[in-house]
Amino acid sequence: MRSVAPQPVAYSLRGDTPVRYLRGVGPQLADKLARLEVRTLSDLLFHLPLRYQDRSKVTPIGALRAGQPAVIEAVVELADTVIRHRRVLLVRVSDGSGALTLRFFHFKQSQAEAFGRGVHLRCYGEVRLGAAGLEMVHPEYRILKDAGAPPEEAVLTPVYPATEGIGQAKLRALAGQALQWLGDDPALLPELLPEELLRQAHMPSLSEALRYVHRPPTDAPVAALMDGSHPAQQRLAFEELLAHHLSLRQLRQKADRSRAPVIAGESALADKFLGSLSFPLTGAQQRVAREILQDLSRPHPMMRLLQGDVGCGKTVVAALAALHCIGAGWQAAFMAPTELLAEQHYRSFLSWFAPLGLEPVWLAARLSAAQRALSLEKIRSGQAALAVGTHALFQTAVSFARLGLVIVDEQHRFGVHQRLALREKGAQAGAYPHQLIMTATPIPRTLAMTAYADLDVSAIDELPPGRTPVKTAAVSERRRSEVVARVHHACRAGRQVYWVCPLIEESEVLQCQAAEDTAAALTAALPKLNIGLVHGRMPARLKERAMAHFRAGDIQLLVATTVIEVGVDVPNASLMIIENAERLGLAQLHQLRGRVGRGALESGCVMLYHAPLSTAARARLEVMRTTNDGFEIARRDLELRGPGELLGTRQAGELRLRIADLTRDAPLIPRVQQTAGLLLERYPERVTALVTRWLGDGSRYREV
Ligand code: ADP
Ligand code: MG
């Protein structure tokens, strides 16, 4: 029995009409489209080209190069079906400048017969070098009535995100159908941007923009479309960024409606703590501390991102916030991404808090069962004013007596999801803890406004006084012995040195092996020095002992894997050697280098590299050599890599932009923010529609 395909009924079509109402879409194709998250007519219209193929220029065959896509116009010289393992259709064509073979494995007899000698063709395909010279395998082609016919199609051909079983031709045809429906009835997709904005900013309407990007007209400006700067693309990018921004603002509104402990007034504990420090807070620390205390004094949860370069003193500020909270009778939790880092923080907090009569507890995966039970009990009873640890802090077994503040260090490793999960975890009787998120990865302002629009941002933009910029050099591996001599010299002068062997192998075992080998080689080369080793696979006890000896100055040269990337703090260490520096990203290099230059001593960093350097690696090392400024480094990083990687794959995955590009479209952001405010205030009913249109129904941001 055959099922009867539903007939499209024009007058009842809407944006949410399922794709199967389109011609030629059966249940199977609908399933495949669903894999592309295309379920409705509207989804199809918003399934936007990733890029375009430029078919505007015809290339003479004589000028073709293998590996490149090209359009050719040629005349058939010979068509032949041969049998080699299977039937193959070979069509020899030439255009006066050269000859080329078209190769087809799947074809109909009628198709083969159409390639008569002298027939004019226009073909598009990738050129490759075959056994008999240049060829195109399964090119798209069209038979021309006569030579030199003008192209009938768009100049630029859209390339859509595709999936197995749906090719570009199919997607183009479906988009064409959807555009036709839209042409018949523009009300199919409501315009959600305010009229006044479209007028002011000279933006095309939604349907105009969609039509343009799906089917650029023949006179379209090729260069603009190829790089995404055409007004039609910009208008869609704007709407997309707006939708993301709005979804985060919605989240924020929700937080602003929920309750949190009010923590206000003077705090004797905090004053005592400040008095116990051997230094005054910097102006930037004081300003940021005030911003945080302001937040804590309100009956709604703080959601604040604290940015500050490595070593600028974020932890002290966090401790201050925690003490205000503890003084008011609440608990605080401090979470770090790795055990080593959490341990380091635990030690700092212990030294700061013990004199105040407070007891921080430590919670990580590697605790023994008995220790763990003890920590859990102290957290549950409220005896622990502060809990420091890794993700382990937020597992189900952990329950806080009165959690008032959650501090998360090194935010770039956590996404929006984890941020929300943390919040929910701390919820008690409808009240949420305050949240302070700290990151040393400076995120350019425009990016922060998109990716972190639910957060307020504070920045410590000043280093404690007396720090000297780190002098950085890139040195070829071939001059290793000179570097070893420099290390020797530094240690003899009473300074301490890190020698970092970062991850270059996928395997941690190999990485640790490399560190062990390096330590052995350096020990042989520098027999008079005390050389220590830390790597991820050593027992925690030994790791801790090596770190303690290094801190105490007993170890002069510490060979380490990237376990020291974040948080380690030994002011007397003033020289760092980084192996395989050409393989590391800017953020990681900057983090590593941040371990030196913490005291008043002039510090140095040597980036050892293997020649020859790629262009990108050379650019990275050059950035490191010429600046110590974390914000500048992040800006260059963004340029060199793009925002997806800067945010970490997790977050980039969550953002999943279809048409906008955070680097290219950064200039749109101020207007995005403005418009978001306008919509929330004047057109609240459009907000959800926009978020749903671009982020889907079960908005990933809405709830955990
Ligand atoms: P971050 O976490 O921002 O990288 P830390 O909070 O670990 O930085 O601080 C780095 C070092 O600077 C620590 O040794 C800390 O005690 C010290 N420090 C913090 N604030 C000041 C200040 N205002 N003056 C001098 N030293 C400071
Ligand atoms: Mg830190």
Please write the tens of the pLDDT for every residue from 412-461: 556 666 667 777 777 777 789 999 999 877 666 666 777 777 888 898 98
Chain CA centroid to CA 317, Å: 27
Whose atoms come closest to the Cα of 352: which ligand?
A: 1
Nearest Cα residue to 577 out of 593, 554, 562: 593
Q: What is the spatial distance between Cα 622 and Cα 607, in angstroms, rounded to a whole number?
A: 11
Average pLDDT, integer, range 230-258: 90
Those residues whose beta carbon sits under 5 angstroms from the ion ligand 2 are 567
* CA nearest to 208, candidates 223, 189, 227, 225: 189
pLDDT at 74: 93
* pLDDT tier at 151, thresholds 50, 70, 90: low
- pLDDT for position 700: 41
- Span 281-306, mean pLDDT? 95
Which residue from 273, 279, 388 has its CB within 8 A of the most atoms of ligand 1, so it is best to mutate?
A: 279
Nearest CA to ligand 1 atom 14: 569
* Of 281-285, 310-314, 520-524, minimum mean pLDDT range: 310-314
Cα of 288 from ligand 1 centre, angstroms: 14
Closest atom of ligand 1 to CA, residue 281: 23
**Domain assignment present for 657:** no
Distance 439 CA to ligand 1 centre (A): 14
Residue with tokens 């977050």: 651
Domain assignment present for 325: yes
Kindly give the number of the ligand 1 atom that is closest to the alpha carbon of 312: 3
Which residue, of 599, 627, 655, is where some domain finishes? 627
% pLDDT > 90, the chain: 46
Nearest CA to ligand 1 atom 20: 313
- Whether 618 is covered by a domain: the verdict is yes
Residue ending a domain, choose from 607, 627, 647: 627
Which ligand sits closest to the CA of 573? 1
Is residue 660 in a domain? no
492 C-alpha to ligand 2 centroid (Å): 29
Comparing CA positions, the residue from 347, 324, 345, 323 lying closest to residue 335 is: 345
DSSP character at residue 259: B
pLDDT recorded at residue 698: 47
Task: Find the 194 Cα to ligand 2 centroid distance in Å.
Answer: 44
Number of structural domains the chain divides into: 4
476 and 589 inside one domain: yes
Counting from 1 in the atom list of ligand 1, the atom nearest the Cα of 282 is: 23
pLDDT in tens, 113-132: 999 999 999 998 989 988 77
d(CA 216, CA 447): 30
Q: Model confidence at 325, in pLDDT bands (50, 70, 90)?
A: very high
One DSSP character per residue, 156-209 reads EEEE---BTTB-HHHHHHHHHHHHHHHHH-GGGS---S-HHHHHHTTPPPHHHH
- Closest atom of ligand 1 to 316 CA is 6
Using CA positions, which residue lies closest to atom 5 of ligand 1? 313
Tell me which residue has its CA closest to atom 19 in ligand 1. Answer: 313
Residues 174 and 125 in one domain: no
Confidence at 333, pLDDT banded by 50, 70, 90: very high
How much is the average pLDDT of 145-165? 72
Mutate to test the pocket of ligand 1, among 315, 346, 570 (most ligand atoms within 8 A of CB): 315
SS3 651: helix
- Report residue 486 as tokens: 């420099």
Atom of ligand 1 nearest to the CA of 409: 2
Higher confidence at residue 653 or residue 9?
9
Ligand 1 mean position, distance from CA 316 (Å): 7
**571 shares its domain with 449:** no
Beta pairing partners, 668: none
Q: How much is the average pLDDT of 634-661?
A: 61
CA distances from 530 to 99, 192, 534, 599 (A): 71, 68, 14, 21
DSSP letter string, 542-577 = HHHHHHHHHHHTS-SEEEE-GGGSSS---TTEEEEE
Residue 314's DSSP bridge partners are none
Atom of ligand 1 nearest to the CA of 309: 3
User: Does 354 map to a domain?
Assistant: yes
Residue pair 435/301 in contact (Cβ under 8 Å)? The answer is: yes
**Can you say how many angstroms the Cα of residue 618 is from the centroid of all Cα atoms in its chain?**
23
Confidence label for 477 from pLDDT (cuts 50, 70 and 90): very high
| Centroid of chain to Cα 662 | 10
In a shared domain, residues 447 and 515? no
For residues 467 and 595, is the Cβ–Cβ distance under 8 A?
no
Q: Which ligand is nearest to the CA of 442?
A: 1
307 Cα distance to chain centroid: 17
Q: Are residues 462 and 482 in the same domain?
A: no
Which of 310, 569, 590 to probe ligand 1 with, by most ligand atoms within 8 A of CB? 569
Separation of CA 82 and ligand 2 centre (Å) = 69
Grade residue 147 by pLDDT with cuts at 50, 70 and 90: low
If asked whether residues 452 and 492 sit together in one domain, one would say no
Same domain, 356 and 370: yes
Residue 532 has pLDDT above 60, yes or no: yes
What separation in Å is there between the alpha carbon of 598 and the centre of ligand 1? 8
290 with 383, same domain: the answer is yes
**Cβ–Cβ under 8 Å, residues 558 and 532:** yes
What is the per-residue pLDDT for 650?
Answer: 36
Residue 573 forms part of a structural domain: yes
434 and 301 Cβ atoms separated by less than 8 Å: yes
255 and 338 in a single domain? The answer is yes
Dihedral sign (CA 278, 283, 284, 285): positive
> Closest-lying ligand to the alpha carbon of 630?
1
Which numbered atom of ligand 1 lies nearest the CA of 460? 3
**320: buried, middle or exposed (CB in 10 Å: 19+, 13-18, 0-12)?**
buried
Whether 103 maps to a domain, the answer reads yes
Contact residues for 683 (Cβ-Cβ < 8 A; gap 6+):
194
Whole-number average pLDDT of the chain: 85
Pairwise pLDDT comparison (465 vs 499), residue with the higher score = 499
Q: Supply the Cα-derived Rg of the chain in whole angstroms.
A: 31
Q: Domain holding 252: CATH number?
A: 3.40.50.300
Return d(Cα 655, Cα 700) in angstroms, integer.
9
Q: Is the pLDDT of residue 247 over 90?
A: no
Pocket of ligand 1 (CB under 6 A): 279, 281-282, 285, 308, 310-316, 440, 464, 569, 598
Predicted confidence (pLDDT) per residue in 592-639, tens digit: 898 888 777 789 999 999 988 888 899 999 999 999 888 788 778 877
**Cβ neighbours of residue 44 under 8 Å, at least 6 residues apart?**
19, 22, 33, 38, 174, 175, 178
- CATH number for position 65: 2.40.50.140
Cα of 379 from ligand 2 centre, angstroms: 24
146 and 171 in a single domain? The answer is no
Q: Is residue 95, in this structure, part of any structural domain at all?
A: yes
Nearest CA to ligand 1 atom 10: 311
**699 pLDDT exceeds 50?**
no
Categorize the per-residue pLDDT at 177 as very low, low, confident or very high, splitting at 50, 70 and 90. Answer: very high
Pinpoint the alpha helices (H) of 334-401.
Answer: 339-353, 369-381
Q: Which of 256, 561, 281 is nearest to 432 (CA)?
A: 256
544 residue type, one letter: E
Domain extent for 63: 57-152
Q: Which of 432-436, 478-482, 566-570, 662-666 has the lowest mean pLDDT?
A: 566-570
- The atom of ligand 1 lying closest to the CA of 594 is 4
Of 170, 201, 227, the one marking the end of a domain is 227
Looking at the predicted structure, is the pLDDT value of residue 644 above 50? no
Q: Which residue has the higher pLDDT, 266 or 428?
A: 266
Q: What is the DSSP letter of 59?
A: P
Same domain, 486 and 605: yes
Say if residue 444 is in the same domain as residue 560. no
C-beta separation of 499 from 577 below 8 A? yes
